[in-house]
Amino acid sequence: MFVFFCPHCGENREEEEFGYGGEAFIPRPATPETLNDDAWGDYLFMRKNPKGWHWEMWSHNTGCRKFFVVKRNTATNAIAGSWTLSDGRKAYDAEGGAT
Amino acid sequence: MSEPVMRSPLHSFGLASQAKPIDGSSGVWANEIPHIGYISLRGDGRDQAFVSAASKALGIPLPIEPCTLATSESVKVLWLSPDEWMIVSAPGQANALCSRLELALAGVRNQVVDNSGGYTQIFLGGTHALDVLRHVSVYDFESLQPGRVAGTTLGKSSVYAFRQGNGYRLIVRRSFADYIWRYLVRAANPYGLGIADVPVDNLVGTSTASVNVAAG
Amino acid sequence: MTSFRVRRPGARIDFEKPLSFSFDGQPYSGFAGDTLASALLANDVRMLARSFKYGRPRGIVGSGPEEPNALMQIEAGAHTIPNLKATQVELYDGLIARRTTGYPTLEFDLKSIGGLFSRFMPAGFYYKTFQNQKLWPKFEHIIRQAAGYGSAPAEPDPETYDHSHRHTQVLVVGGGASGLLAALAAGRAGLKVVVVDEQKECGGWLLSSPHSIIGGKTADAWLKAVLGELQSMPNVEVLTRTSAFALHNMNLVLAVEQLQDHLPLGARSAHRPRQRLHRIRAENVVLATGAIERPLVFGNNDLPGIMTASALTTYLNRYGVAAGKRVLLHTSNDHVYQGACDLVRAGCEVVLADARARVNPAWEKRARAAGVDLRLGYGIAYARGGRAVSGAQLVKLDAERNAVTGKGPSIDCDALGSSGGLSPTVHLYCHDGGRPHWDDEKLAFVVPATGRAKSRIYCVGAVTGEFGLQQALEQTQRTIGDLLASLGKPAGTTSATDVHTDEPASVPPRRIFRIPDGMREGHGKKAFVDFQNDVSAADIHLAVRENYRSIEHIKRYTALGFGTDQGKLSNVNGFAIAADARGISIPEVGTTTYRPAYSPVTFGTLAGLHADETFEPRRYSAMHACHVARGAEFEPVGQWLRPWYFPLPGEDMHAAVRRECLAARRGVGIMDASTLGKIDLRGKDVREFLGRVYANDWAKLAPGKCRYGLMLDENGMVMDDGVTACITDDHFVMTTTTGGAARVFSWLEKWHQTEWPDLDVYMTSVTDHWATAAIVGPKSRQTLAKVCSDIDLSPSAFKFMDWRDGTVAGVPARVFRISFSGELAFEVNVDANYGHHVWEALMDAGREFGITPYGTETMHVLRAEKGFIIVGQDTDGSMTPLDLDMAWAVSMKKPFSFIGKRSFARSDTAGPNRKQLVGLLTEDPEIVLAEGAQIIERTDIAPPVPMLGHVTSSYYSPELDRSIALAVVRDGINRRSDEGRKTGRDVLYAHAGGKAHKVRLVSPVFIDPKGERQNV
Amino acid sequence: MRKDYSSWSLFTKGLRHNEGWDPAWRSAEPKPSYDVVIVGAGGHGLATAYYLAKEHGLRNIAVIEKGYLGGGNTARNTTIVRSNYLWDEAALLYEHALKLWEGLTEDLNFNVMFSQRGVFNLGHTLQDMRDIERRVNANNLNGIDALVLDAAEVKRRIPILNTAKTARYPVLGASFQPRGGIARHDAVAWGFARAASKCGVDIIENCEVTGMDIANGRIVGLETTRGPIKCERVGCVASGHSSVLARMAGIRMPIESHPLQAFVSESMKPVLDTVVMSNAVHGYASQSDKGELVIGAGIDHYTSYTQRGSPHIIEHTAAAIIELFPMFSRVRMNRQWGGIVDTTPDACPIISKTKIKGLYFNCGWGTGGFKATPGSGNVFAHTIAKDDPHPLNRAFDLARFSTGHLIDEHGAAGVAH
C-alpha cells in the first residue's frame, strides 16, 4: 500500500487517492503515418515492464487530478521520488533515460 | 406556471425538518448546507496576470499555496490544483461573479464555469466528527489545519474538505451525495448522529434570500 | 475429575461472578475472566474435537491464537461464528458453543474408523488413488463431507463493521512487557503512539507469570503503573482486543478490534460495529510481538490433555485452572521451570523430564526445592491414553546425539506439558518481504534486533530472540533509544534498574525437536507436527523421500502449516524435521513464506462500511424523485440508477415500452438524460484539441451549432461518442456516454497533460451541474413553447443541431435541438437544483399533448429504429468507425493524425471481411431475436460452426409493428448491398438457444432513412 | 506408463511403513547441452516438456526453474477451469485444454482432483446478459457446453446466492458451463513433473537464467546460475517474468506484470458446491475439497514483481463476496497471497515464435493461465517441435500486435479470469 508524495499538492497521500498511469515517457510519434506497422505496434503495445526501477505515471485522482512521475522499484516496492511531468522528464533524461 | 424552486441533492432525506441545535445528546452532528454557489476557476497559478486579475475580481488574493483556502465576506476560494480553484459563493451571486471573473480575465488563459448545480456541502461536527472522518477517508484529518483544504476519498467517492468553526465542511458531488450521506450516517452510528441546525454563515444567509427553496 | 480450580494470586478470574454456558448441549459453569478453553478445562472437558484426517481425539493444546484443535462453533442462527479458537473466546453468560468435528458424535467419529487404516493414508495419498475421472465426483463428495470444521451462518449478518484510518508516529504491536516499555519511552518523548494488543488486557506473558519482579515491582504492580502512566498521556492510545494481522508496504498495519463478541448476545449494542478494521499508517512500527512456545514431537503427542507447557502455566496462573493433578512436563529448555514450581505450589504432583542431562543449576535448585520430580536426560517416547492422556513412556537420551540409549520409566499422568523452545512471532515482520534468520544458539527463527531501520520497523523483546525478561527489556531500551535518537529525541527516560528482574540467567536449550523413540521414522507411534492438518513427522520424511524437498513442497504436499493456526506451533518443528530428513541444516531448509492474516479476520471486517446500500456508490439524477413518483422501474447503468420504463397499472414492460415509443413517435415523450457525461472546454485551442481526440472535423463548427463525434482509442476502435456544442470560438461543451464519462474525462486530461500541454485548453466536468430533460416527438416544440418564451423555436430560427440559451419554466436553460430518436426533439439543460422543477413544469406543459415519460428501454428502441449505435452494446472494443458504416464521422483529411487514425492502416484493420454493422429483419416479423444471437451461414453442419457475427440490439418496433435488429456481420455492408442481395448473400441465420431464425441483412436505418422527421 | 500410483500400491507400501515410494520426479544436474530447454517449471512449462517427450518423441529436454517447481502462478491461482470464452480462437484453445483436463488424472497417473462442478458467470446488468447470451451461443456453436440461466434458476442451483432485486448488483441470470470446475493446482505441476521425468526430461530447480547466447539470429545456449547450457531450442514459459527473459534476447513484449491477489477462508463444512464468478462486483469463489472458500480478487493496476498487492483490493473483494453471499460476512479470511500475472493488451496469451530462431515464448496468460495448462503445454510443444504453430495457437502470435488482429477478450466483456 503506497504513500505517494504529490508534487503538486506537496503532501504525502495514500494510494487510494491515486490512479496508475502506466509507463512514463512513451511519446506519441509525431508523424504516425510514416511509421510501419511494427513501429506503430511497438508504440501502441510494447512496454519495458522492467523488474527494478520503473519510471511511471500516477494521477492524483481525488486530489489535484494531475498526472505526475514516480520512480518506483517493481522488485521491492521502493520509491525513489516523485516529480511533476516536466521535472520528471529532466530527472529521467539525467539518468540517460535508462531503467 | 409555478415559481422556480430549488431542490438540493439531499432534499429527499428531509433533513431541514429534523434539525435541532447542537447539544450533547449526540456524538456527531451533520446536515446538508444546500443551495450554495460553486464556480470552477481554471488558470495558471504561476501566471501573475491571471492571479492578480482573478484576485481583483474575487476581492481576495487567489490562494496559490497548495492545499490552502482563502475566505472573505462573500466568498471562499479553495485551491484544488496548480491550475484549478473552487469558488464558493451565494448562489444568487454565482452568476454575477462568473461574469466579473470572465471580464477580469479577458485576454488571459482561463476557464470560468458555474458548477453550482454540481455540488453540495455537508456540515460535520460534534465531539466525534474526527472519528467519523477516520472511518470514511484515508486522509489524515487529524493533521488538517484551519485554512487548509484536502481533496481526498470519501468511501468510494471523493470530497473536498476543510475546517470551519468547530466542525468540518465537506463539498461533494451532487450525484454522489445520496451515497455519501448514507455512508456518513453508517459511520456515525456508534456515536449517535444528530441533524444539526447549522450555524448560519454569510454564504447561506444570502442564498436563502435570493432564491426559492423546496421545503425540507 | 482431574482438572480443578485454584485460587491463584494474580489470576484474572473473578470468582464472585459465575457464568453459565453450554458446550455441545451440555450446561457448564465458569467465571468472569475465563476463556471458553479455560472454562472447559476447569469442567474437565478434555476431548472436544476429532482430527481432520484420522478422526483422532483432540483437546486443547495452547492458550491463544496458536491453538490448533479447539475450533468451536459459537452461538447459533444469524449470530453463529465458525471456527473460533476456544482459547480466544472470552466467556460470557449464556454462551453457546458446539464442536466442529466428530461425526456423528465426539465419542464415536466415523473418521476414526479410517484412522485405523491410517498407514494406508499417508501424506498425499489422494494424489495416488481415485484416478477414475467418472468415479472421482463420488469420492470427492465423500472427501468433502469429511472435511471442514465449522459451518457458515445460513443467514445474513445482523451485525456491522467499520474501518478506521489512523496515522501515527509510533505504532507498537504487542502490549507485553517489551511493547509497554517501548510505548512508555515513546510516549514520554511526546510522540503520538498507538499500542495494539490482541488480548483483552495488556501484559502478554506477564499475565501468566504474576510473580516475576521488574525493577523491584511485581509484574502485576509494574503493569498497573505502566498502563496508568500510558493512560494519562494524551498522545498515547492503547487498543486492546485488537489483533494486528498484516503489515503492508510502507508501514501500513492492519489490525482488527473486537468490540462485541465478548458480550452476551442480549448486551450487544446495535449502534456498535462488531469489529473494526484499523488501518494504521505508522511512521515507525515497533514490533513487540513476542514468542510462542512450540511443543516437542513425540508418539501420540496429540492425546487430549497434552499441551504446551506454557499453556499449562497460563491456565494455572492466569485462569486459576490446574489442568491435571499429576502433571508430566517435558522440556529441552529453561522456560518450563517456573511453571513447574507453580504447579507444585498449586497442589499438583509434577514430574519434569528434561532432555538435557545437565541443566541450569539455578533452576534445578529451585525446582527440586519446590518439590518437582526432576528427571534429567530423558525424553518421552510416546504418550499413553485413549480419550485423554494417562501416562507416558520415557526413554533415556544420549547426551549428545538425539538417540535413545535406554529405556526410561513409565510415568502416569493426567496432564502433560511439553516445551521445545520459543518461536518468535515473526509473521508481521515477514509480511512485507522480510525473512527471519535462524539463531542456532536460541534454536529459533528470529528477526534482527536492529529491525529494518530503513523502513523504520523496529523489533523489541522476544521476537528478536531475547527470551529472558530482563534481556528483552534491556534490548527494548536500546532499540527505542535508537528510534528516539533518530528523531532527535532524548532517549534515557527509563533506566537499567527499571528493568532489573529476578530471573536466573538462562542456559542454552538442547537442539531437539522430534524425541527419538528408538524406531525408524514411520514405524513407531504417530508423532504429530501439525495437529490441525494431521501432519506427522513420518509424513515429512515421506515427502522428502518422494522428492518434495523444498520446504514449500513439503508444506504443500503434507499441508504443514496451512491451518487456521497458521503453523504457529508446527512450522519450526516441521522445518527442523525436514532438515533432519534431508541431512541439511535448518537455515538451509529455510522457512515458508509468512502471509497475512496472522490470525483469521472476518470478511465483514475487511469490507467495513462497504456493505448493503453503501457497498458501492449509487448515483441519482436531480429528477430521480419525479420518476419514483411515477412508478418507474429502474436499471443500473454504470453507477447510475436510471428509469428503465414507466409501467402504468397492469402494464408489463412490453406494453409500457410500446406505449412510450408511440408517444415519442406520434405525440411527445420526455426522458431524463442527465446522466450523460458533460465536459466544459475552454481555450483558443479547443477546436484543435477536439480534432485530435475525435475522428471527425471540428474546424468549421460555428457558434450556436452542435456536432456528433466518435472518439477512438489509439488502436482505432470506437471508445465513446456524443454531441459537442460550440458555444463560442473558444468555448465548447462535450457530452459523453453515461458509463464512459469518467473514463473520457481522464482520457482527455491525460492527453492534454502528457502530450499536448502547450494547447490552450481547460476542461471541467459539468456532468453533475446540468440536469437534462429530453422532450421528444412531433409535439415537443409545442410543449416547449408553453414554458419557453425567450427562444424562437421556429424551424427556421432554431434548426436541427442548433443550441440556444434561454429561459425554461422560469429557469436559465441551455436548449439543444438534437435527437437520439430521429424525431423532432429538444434537450433542456438547467442547473440541477432546478431539475426537479423543470421536469415537473415540462410534464405540466405537455399534459395536453399526452406527454409520456420514458426510460432507457424505449430510448433503445427509438434509436435502434434509426440505426443509431450505443457504444458498448453495438460495439465491443473491436469496431472501427468504418466497421460501423460511419465513415461520415471520420475526417481523414485533418492535418493532425487524430487518435486512432494510424491504426486503420494496419493490415488486419484495413483488411477485408471485417465485421460490420447492419440491420436485420427476421422472416417472421413476430420473432424478436435474442440479443447475443450468433449469425451463421448454414444450419446443417456440426460444431464448430463458423460464426459471422452476432445480434447486438433487438426489439419489437411498435412504429413498424414488427421486429428489428442490429448486428455486426462479416462483410455485412457488401452482403446487404444490391450486389449481395442479388447473390443471396444477404440471407443468413441468427442462432440462439439452439434455434436458428432466417434473417435478411438490411440497412440499419429502419425508419425515416432521409432523416426528415428530426428536421421538421 | 506403468501405473505406479494406485490403491494397490498404497496398500502394499502402507504395509511397509510407506518406505517404498520412489521420488515423484528426478532432480537432475544440468547437462552441458540439450535439444530443448524449457525455462520455467510451472504447470505450463512442465506440460510442454511432457508433451514434447510424449507426443513429439524428443528425449534430450530440460526444464529449468529459478525457484522450486510449481512455485509461481501454478501455486497461486484460484484453480478455476473452464473453456467458455467468447472468441473462436480463445474458446477452441481453452476447449482443447478442457478436453485434456478430462483425461489428465489417468494420463498422468496422478490425481489432479479435477472436479467438474460447473462454473457460473453471473450477469448483473442488461448488458451483462447480452454478453452472456452472445458468449453462450458462440460456445454452443463451437461445441462447448454452456447455457444461459435466469435468476430463478441460478437461485435454485445456488440457494445461498443473494438474488434480491434490491441488491446493489442484482443477479439477472448467469451463464453456466457444467464441465467447468476446479482442480488441485499443486498436483498439476507435480503430476506433469513426474510424468515428464519418467519420459527422461531433466528437471533442474534453483537454476535461474541470467543471459541468452544468440548467434546469427539463432539461440545457441543459456547462461544460468548453474552454468552455461547449450541448446538448440528454448521455450520460455515464465509468466510474470516473461519481459525479463525477453529483454535478454532483445525482444520487446506487449506485457505488463501486475500483482493478482487471492485469499482463502478457514475450512468449513460444504456450503458452495460450484464455482461462482462475477465480473461486475469483481469477485469469484469456490470451496475447495478441504473446505476453504477460495476467492480471487481483482488485479492491482500498477506493475510489480513483488508478489504482494495492496490491501484495498482484498477489502473490495471481501465486500463483493458479501454482496453475493451475505452469510459469508462472519466467515474469516485465513490466508492471502499474491502472484505476478503477465497481462497483454487483448487479454489473450502469446504462444509464438520470435524473431530469434529457436526461441519461443508462451506467456501473457494474465489472470487465466491455470485452466489452459495442459492445452497450453500441448500446443506449445507442437510449436517448438515443428518450429511452426499448432492450428490452435496460430492466432496467438506476436505479429497480431502489428497487424491489429487482436483477439479482444476483455474488450468483448469476456470473463477473463
Query: Could you tell me the CATH number of the domain that includes residue C525?
Result: 1.10.10
Class level of CATH domain A16-94: alpha beta
Which residues on adjacent β-strands are paired with residue B120? B172
How many angstroms separate the CA of residue A74 from the nearest CA in chain D?
Answer: 4
Clarify whether residues C409 and C302 are in a common domain: yes
Cβ-defined contact of B174 to C836 (cutoff 8 Å):
no
CATH of the domain at C66: 3.10.20.440
Measured CA to CA, the distance from residue C348 to residue C344 in angstroms comes to: 5
* Domain membership flag for residue B210: no
Clarify whether residues C23 and C79 are in a common domain: yes
Cβ-defined contact of B152 to A63 (cutoff 8 Å):
yes
Collapsing DSSP to helix, strand or coil, D390 comes out as coil
Clarify whether residues C484 and C376 are in a common domain: no
Supply C921's cell numbers.
429483419
Mapping DSSP onto H, E and C, the string for C241-271 reads CEEEEEEECCCEEEEEEECCCCCCHHHCCCC
Please, which residues have CB within 8 angstroms of residue C334's CB and are 6 or more apart in sequence? C359, C360, C363, C504, C506, C507, C509
How many angstroms separate the CA of residue C469 from the nearest CA in chain D?
Answer: 32
Measured CA to CA, the distance from residue C876 to residue C153 in angstroms comes to: 41
Report whether the peptide linkage leading into residue C597 is cis, meaning its omega lies within 30 degrees of zero: yes
Mean pLDDT of the C742-768 span: 97
Clarify whether residues C378 and C435 are in a common domain: no
* Domain membership flag for residue C16: yes
The confidence score (pLDDT) of residue B205 equals 47
Measured CA to CA, the distance from residue D252 to residue D402 in angstroms comes to: 12
Which chain C residues are within 8 Å of B157, Cβ to Cβ?
A: 617
Whether A65 and chain B come into contact, CB under 8 Å, resolves to: yes
Confidence label for D25 from pLDDT (cuts 50, 70 and 90): very high
Cβ-defined contact of D14 to C636 (cutoff 8 Å):
no
Clarify whether residues B168 and B151 are in a common domain: yes
User: Could you tell me how many CB contacts below 8 A there are between chain B and chain C?
Assistant: 155
Clarify whether residues C231 and C276 are in a common domain: yes
Amino acid C778 reads: P
Q: Is the pLDDT of residue D414 over 60?
A: no
Clarify whether residues C651 and C729 are in a common domain: no
The confidence score (pLDDT) of residue D415 equals 33
Clarify whether residues C953 and C980 are in a common domain: yes
**What distance lies between CA C6 and its chain's CA centroid?**
44
- C780-787 helix and C835-846 helix, angle to the nearest 10 degrees: 120
- C686-693 helix and C741-750 helix, angle to the nearest 10 degrees: 110
Number of domains chain C contains: 7
Confidence label for B202 from pLDDT (cuts 50, 70 and 90): low
Clarify whether residues C323 and C337 are in a common domain: yes
Question: Pick from C252, C753, C906: which is nearest to A85 by CB?
Answer: C753
Cβ-defined contact of C931 to D134 (cutoff 8 Å):
yes
Q: Among the three residues B82, B98, B116, which one is the final residue of a domain in this structure?
A: B116
Tens-digit pLDDT profile for residues C886-907 = 999 999 999 999 999 999 999 9
Clarify whether residues C399 and C437 are in a common domain: no
Taking the alpha carbons at both ends of chain D, their separation in whole angstroms is 34
Q: 3-state DSSP: chain D helix, strand, coil percent, rounded to 5? A: 35, 25, 40
Measured CA to CA, the distance from residue C768 to residue C398 in angstroms comes to: 82
CATH of the domain at B67: 3.30.70.1520
The confidence score (pLDDT) of residue B208 equals 47
Report whether the peptide linkage leading into residue C944 is cis, meaning its omega lies within 30 degrees of zero: yes
The complex scores an ipTM of: 0.97
Higher local confidence (pLDDT), D280 or C307:
C307
DSSP assignment letter at D406: -
Measured CA distances, A26 to A43, A55, C751, D338 (Å): 7, 11, 12, 29
Measured CA distances, C532 to C54, C565, C942 (Å): 11, 8, 52
Residue in chain D closest to C526 (alpha carbons) equals: D17
Measured CA to CA, the distance from residue C206 to residue C220 in angstroms comes to: 8
| Helical (H) or strand (E) element with D284 | strand D283-287
* Domain membership flag for residue C491: yes
How many angstroms separate the CA of residue B159 from the nearest CA in chain A?
Answer: 7
Tens-digit pLDDT profile for residues C616-640 = 999 999 999 999 999 999 999 999 9
> Counting beta carbons within 10 angstroms of the beta carbon of residue C308, is it exposed (0 to 12), middle (13 to 18) or buried (19 or more)?
buried
Q: Is the pLDDT of residue D413 over 60?
A: no
Collapsing DSSP to helix, strand or coil, D64 comes out as strand
Higher local confidence (pLDDT), D357 or C7:
D357
Clarify whether residues C778 and C685 are in a common domain: no
Clarify whether residues C660 and C806 are in a common domain: yes
The confidence score (pLDDT) of residue D282 equals 84
Measured CA to CA, the distance from residue C278 to residue C198 in angstroms comes to: 13
Supply C802's cell numbers.
442548433
Tens-digit pLDDT profile for residues C772-784 = 999 999 999 999 9
Cβ-defined contact of D402 to A2 (cutoff 8 Å):
no
Confidence label for B200 from pLDDT (cuts 50, 70 and 90): low
Which one of D355, D402, D405 makes the best mutation probe of the A interface by having the most chain A beta carbons within 10 Å?
D402
CA angle D274/D130/D364 to nearest 5° reads 65
The confidence score (pLDDT) of residue C8 equals 87
| Helical (H) or strand (E) element with D338 | strand D332-343
Clarify whether residues B78 and B24 are in a common domain: no
* Domain membership flag for residue C605: no
Q: Is the pLDDT of residue C449 over 50?
A: yes
Confidence label for C116 from pLDDT (cuts 50, 70 and 90): confident
Question: Pick from A2, A44, A76: which is nearest to C715 by CB?
Answer: A44
Measured CA distances, C436 to B214, C431, D316 (Å): 65, 11, 31
- Kind of pairing between the strands at C915-922 and C962-970: antiparallel
pTM of the model: 0.97
Q: Is the pLDDT of residue A99 over 60?
A: no
Residue with cell 470530497: B159
Rg for chain C, CA atoms, rounded: 38
Supply C127's cell numbers.
494424489
Measured CA to CA, the distance from residue C531 to residue C61 in angstroms comes to: 9
Clarify whether residues B46 and B109 are in a common domain: yes
Clarify whether residues C280 and C178 are in a common domain: yes
Cβ-defined contact of C832 to B173 (cutoff 8 Å):
no
Measured CA distances, C743 to A61, C304, C677, C824, D36 (Å): 12, 61, 10, 31, 46
* Domain membership flag for residue C447: yes
Q: Domain limits at C970?
A: 912-1016
Q: Among the three residues B75, B96, B116, which one is the final residue of a domain in this structure?
A: B116
Which residues on adjacent β-strands are paired with residue C988? C999
Tens-digit pLDDT profile for residues C822-850 = 999 999 999 999 999 999 999 999 999 99
* Domain membership flag for residue C750: yes
Tens-digit pLDDT profile for residues C135-149 = 899 999 999 988 999
Decide if C443 contacts C585 (C-beta within 8 A).
Answer: no
Q: How many CA atoms lie within 13 A of B193 on its CB side?
A: 21
Measured CA to CA, the distance from residue C923 to residue C921 in angstroms comes to: 6
The confidence score (pLDDT) of residue B214 equals 72
**What distance lies between CA D85 and its chain's CA centroid?**
14
Q: Domain limits at B132?
A: 13-35+117-198
* Domain membership flag for residue B204: no
Tens-digit pLDDT profile for residues C10-32 = 899 999 999 999 999 999 999 99
Decide if B9 contacts C622 (C-beta within 8 A).
Answer: yes
> Counting beta carbons within 10 angstroms of the beta carbon of residue C942, is it exposed (0 to 12), middle (13 to 18) or buried (19 or more)?
exposed
* Domain membership flag for residue B128: yes
DSSP, residue by residue, D208-248 = -EEEEEEETTEEEEEEETT--EEEEEEEE--GGGHHHHHHH
Name the phi and psi angles at C564, rounded to 5: -75, -10
The size of chain A, in residues, is 99
The confidence score (pLDDT) of residue B1 equals 57
Whether A91 and chain C come into contact, CB under 8 Å, resolves to: no
The confidence score (pLDDT) of residue C501 equals 85
- Per the prediction, chain C carries an average pLDDT of 96
Taking the alpha carbons at both ends of chain A, their separation in whole angstroms is 23
The confidence score (pLDDT) of residue B199 equals 67
Number of domains chain B contains: 2
Residue with cell 458555474: B114
Residue with cell 511533476: A84
Q: Which residues on chain A place their C-beta less than 8 Å from a C-beta of chain D?
A: 1-2, 15-16, 19-20, 22, 37-38, 40-42, 44-51, 54, 56, 72, 74-77
Higher local confidence (pLDDT), C504 or C189:
C189
- Per the prediction, chain D carries an average pLDDT of 95
* Domain membership flag for residue B213: no
Question: Pick from C129, C548, C604: which is nearest to D10 by CB?
Answer: C129
Confidence label for B209 from pLDDT (cuts 50, 70 and 90): very low
Subunits adjacent to chain C (3 or more Cβ pairs under 8 Å): A, B, D
Percent of chain C with pLDDT over 90: 92
Number of helices (H), then strands (E), in chain B: 6, 11
Subunits adjacent to chain B (3 or more Cβ pairs under 8 Å): A, C
CATH of the domain at B128: 3.30.1360.120
The confidence score (pLDDT) of residue C945 equals 96
Subunits adjacent to chain D (3 or more Cβ pairs under 8 Å): A, C
Tens-digit pLDDT profile for residues D80-109 = 999 999 999 999 999 999 999 999 999 999
> Counting beta carbons within 10 angstroms of the beta carbon of residue A93, is it exposed (0 to 12), middle (13 to 18) or buried (19 or more)?
exposed
Give the count of beta carbons closer than 10 Å to the beta carbon of residue A34. 11
Measured CA to CA, the distance from residue C880 to residue C908 in angstroms comes to: 12
Decide if C992 contacts D137 (C-beta within 8 A).
Answer: yes
Sheet containing C71-74, strands listed edge to edge, beginning at the edge strand earlier in sequence: C26-32, C14-23, C95-99, C71-74, C81-85
Question: Pick from A10, A14, A63: which is nearest to B151 by CB?
Answer: A63
Cβ-defined contact of C715 to A76 (cutoff 8 Å):
no
The confidence score (pLDDT) of residue C672 equals 98
Question: Pick from D9, D310, D319: which is nearest to C610 by CB?
Answer: D319
Q: Domain D30-115+181-255+344-417 maps to which CATH number in 3.30.465.10, 1.10.1840.10, 3.40.50.2000, 3.50.50.60?
A: 3.50.50.60
Closest-CA residue to C430 (of C553, C583, C247): C247
Cβ-defined contact of D241 to A19 (cutoff 8 Å):
no
Closest-CA residue to C245 (of C257, C237, C236): C257
Subunits adjacent to chain A (3 or more Cβ pairs under 8 Å): B, C, D
DSSP assignment letter at D176: E
Cβ-defined contact of C249 to A32 (cutoff 8 Å):
no
- Per the prediction, chain B carries an average pLDDT of 93
Please tell me the least confidently modeled range out of C2-6, C56-60, C961-965.
C2-6
Q: Among the three residues C747, C765, C783, which one is the final residue of a domain in this structure?
A: C765
Tens-digit pLDDT profile for residues D315-370 = 999 999 999 999 999 999 999 999 999 999 999 999 999 999 999 999 999 998 99
The confidence score (pLDDT) of residue C492 equals 64
- Per the prediction, chain A carries an average pLDDT of 95
Decide if C314 contacts C423 (C-beta within 8 A).
Answer: no
The confidence score (pLDDT) of residue A98 equals 57
Measured CA to CA, the distance from residue C589 to residue C73 in angstroms comes to: 37
How many angstroms separate the CA of residue A19 from the nearest CA in chain B?
Answer: 12
Clarify whether residues B31 and B122 are in a common domain: yes
What's domain D116-180+256-343's superfamily in CATH? D-Amino Acid Oxidase, subunit A, domain 2 (3.30.9.10)
Q: Is the pLDDT of residue C133 over 90?
A: no
Tens-digit pLDDT profile for residues C242-301 = 999 999 999 999 999 999 999 999 999 999 999 999 999 999 999 999 999 999 999 999
Name the segment(s) of chain D with CATH classification 3.30.9.10: 116-180+256-343
Amino acid C928 reads: V
| Helical (H) or strand (E) element with C625 | helix C624-629
Amino acid D119 reads: V
Residue in chain C closest to A76 (alpha carbons) equals: C433
Confidence label for B216 from pLDDT (cuts 50, 70 and 90): low
Whether A63 and chain C come into contact, CB under 8 Å, resolves to: no
Taking the alpha carbons at both ends of chain B, their separation in whole angstroms is 22
Which chain D residues are within 8 Å of C931, Cβ to Cβ?
A: 130, 133-134
Mean pLDDT of the C533-537 span: 96
The confidence score (pLDDT) of residue B210 equals 56
Which chain C residues are within 8 Å of A14, Cβ to Cβ?
A: 165, 281
